[in-house]
Structure 1
Amino acid sequence: MQAEQKREMVKALQAKINAMQGFGKMPEEPVTDGLMPFSSAFPGNVFPTGAIHEFISYEPVEAASTSGFISALAGSFMKPGSLCLWIAKEKMIFPPALKQFGIEPDRMIFIKVLKPKDTLWTIEEALKCEALTAVIGEVKELGFTESRRLQLAVEQSGVTAFIHRFRPFAENATACTARWKITPLASSPEEGLPGLGHSCWDVQLLKVRNGSPHSWPVTWAGGCFRPLVEKQFSAQTQHARNAG
C-alpha cells in the first residue's frame, strides 16, 4: 500500500472519529486562516464546523460582546450566498452592523421565539436544514439531553451551531464540542484617526473535547481576527479597569 493511500485512509478514519466525538462532518476544505488563532486549540489544528459551540455570559456588556464575537466567527466561514439563522427572544442585533463581520444583512434571518421550550425546538429543527451554514440560538438553560439532540442534528446536516446562554443557573455539563466565554476589552482608535477603534475581546476557550483550553486577547480588524500584542493588551486591560 502506497504512502498516499495510507494517508487518505487515516484522514477518513479521523473524520469518522471526529464525527462520533462531536466534531461534526470534516469539511472538504477545512477553515483555518479565517479562524486563527483559535484553530490551534482543536484536534488537527482545524476549527470544528458542523459542531456545537456553547457561549456563557452573565453581564449585559458580556452578552453584547459575545454576540459580536459570534457574528465574527460566523462571518469567517460563511461563503457568498450562505444563510444563517439567529433565533432569540428579542432581536438585539443591528443588521447593517453585520457587514463589518463579513455578513451581508440579507444573509441573516432573525426568528423571534418567546418561550424557551419553543426556542430549543426551533434551533433543533433549523440545525437539520442542510441549506443553512450556521444557526445562532440564544437560550438560558440547556440540559445534557437537549444538547445531545442538537448534536445529533448537526452530525447529520453539517450545520454549525452557536448557542449563547445568558445568565444560566449553572454551567452544567452538555454535549457541546466547546464552551467559550467572551469578555470585552477597551478598544483604542488607530493613530491619527478619530472615533472608536476596532472591537477587542478577551476570548476564553473554557472547555474543548480532545483539545487544549486556551485564551487569546484579539481584535477584529481588516476582516479577520488579529492577536493583540502584549503592550496593547496590557494598556486596554488597564483602561477597562480604570473605567470600571
Structure 2
Amino acid sequence: MIESVNTLAALRRHIASLEGIPATKAGARIATGHAPLDQTLQGGLAQGRVHELFGRNEDEGAAAGLSLIFAHLAAGQSPMFWLRPINGAAGQPYGPGLAALGIDPAYLLIGVMKDDALLLRAAVDALRCPALGSLVIELRGRAPLMDLTASRRLALAAEASGVTAFLLRIGGDPVPSAADTRWRVTAAPSVPLPGNAPGMTAFDLSLLRRRSGPDGITCRLVWNSERGVFGEECDERHDPRSDSADTPLPGAVVSVPSARPAAHRAA
C-alpha cells in the first residue's frame, strides 16, 4: 500500500512537470502557523486547490477577512485577485484595515462582475494564470450556478496552474462540490492586550468537509499580523496572570515616614 502511494505521488509530480507546474506548487501545503490545524491538514491547506469558506450574513466580515488572510498566505509576494458580484461590492475593503492585517493593498486586485455567470467564467480564466498568487471568489446567497460541475471546472483549473482558490460563500448553504476543504467561519472575541488594548483578530473555524481526511474539527484562530501566522488564543502575547493587583507600577517610589502626613493640607 505504501509503495502504491509513493508511486502515485511520483506520477503526480511527473505530470506536474510535464504541464509546467512549478515544483514548489506541486503537492505543496500552505502552513497557517496554528500547529493543531496544520497537523490535522498534514502540513496546511493544499496549494493549487479550491477551499470553501462559508459565513452567515452577520459573519460576512469575518469570513471575508479570513479568506483574504488565507489568500495572502498562499500568494506570498505574488498578486491576489478578489472577484466579487456587483450586489456585494457596496462594502469595499479598507486599505488601512488590510495593512493592519499585514496585507499590502498594492498586491490586491479586485474585479466586480454584474452576475454570477460572468464571475465564474472569469474565475476559471484567472485560475489558468500561473503568475497569480491566489484567487478569492465571492458568491452571495444560494448562487445556483455554483454547482458540482462549476466547482470541478475551478478545481481542474487550480490544479493545472497551481493557483489556490478560496471560494467565499456569504449567506449560502453547502452543496456538493469538488473543493478540497469546506469551512464554517464565525467571528470570535479577542483577548485584550495589556492596558485593555484591542486584541488580535480571532476566528472560530469548523471543518465541515475534507476530501482526503477526517472532518468535524473546530478551532479558534488568532491572527498575528506581525509574525504573519495564526496561533491559538493563548498565543496573544498576553498572560492574564500578569494583571494581578499586586504587580507594582513602573517608576521610582519614594518612602514616606510613618509619623509624617503624605501631603500638607492646604491653608
**Residues paired across the two proteins, number:** 215
1:110 aligns with 2:110: yes
Q: Give CA deviations for 1:37-86 in whole Å, capped at 9, x if unaligned.
A: 332222x43420100001112223x1110111112212223322x11100
Q: CA deviation at 1:205?
A: 1.2
After TM superposition, the score normalised by the length of structure 1 is 0.77
Secondary structure of residue in 2 paired with 1:154: helix
After TM superposition, the score normalised by the length of structure 2 is 0.71
d(CA) in 1 for partners of 2:65, 2:138: 13
Q: CA deviation at 1:116?
A: 1.3
Other-structure match for 1:204: 206
**Change in 2 beyond 3 A, CA 1:35/1:151:** farther
Pick the structure with greater CA Rg.
2
**Change in 2 beyond 3 A, CA 1:149/1:35:** farther
Q: CA deviation at 1:188?
A: 3.0
Q: CA deviation at 1:226?
A: 0.7
Secondary structure of residue in 1 paired with 2:45: coil
Alignment of 1:16-55 (within 5 A): 27=25, 30-31=28-29, 33-37=31-35, 38-42=37-41, 44-55=42-53
Secondary structure of residue in 2 paired with 1:203: strand
d(CA) in 2 for partners of 1:208, 1:29: 16
CA contact (8 A) 1:34 1:77 kept: no
Gaps of 5+ in 2: 17-22, 241-267
Q: CA deviation at 1:32?
A: 5.3
Alignment of 1:153-164 (within 5 A): 153-164=157-168
Q: Give CA deviations for 1:88-124 in whole Å, capped at 9, x if unaligned.
A: 0215321332223332111100111121111111111
**Change in 2 beyond 3 A, CA 1:122/1:57:** same
Secondary structure of residue in 2 paired with 1:56: strand
Q: What amino acid is the match of 1:150?
A: L
**Change in 2 beyond 3 A, CA 1:72/1:92:** same
Q: Give CA deviations for 1:178-202 in whole Å, capped at 9, x if unaligned.
A: 10111111123201253x2211111
Alignment of 1:148-227 (within 5 A): 148-168=152-172, 170-194=173-197, 196-213=198-215, 214-221=217-224, 222=226, 223-227=228-232
Other-structure match for 2:257: none
d(CA) in 2 for partners of 1:34, 1:191: 25
Which ranges of 4 or more aligned residues in structure 1 deviate by more than 4 Å? 6-11, 13-18
Structure that is richer in helix per residue: 1
Q: What amino acid is the match of 1:215?
A: T
Other-structure match for 2:133: 133
Aligned match of 1:146 in 143, 147, 150?
150
1:228 aligns with 2:233: yes
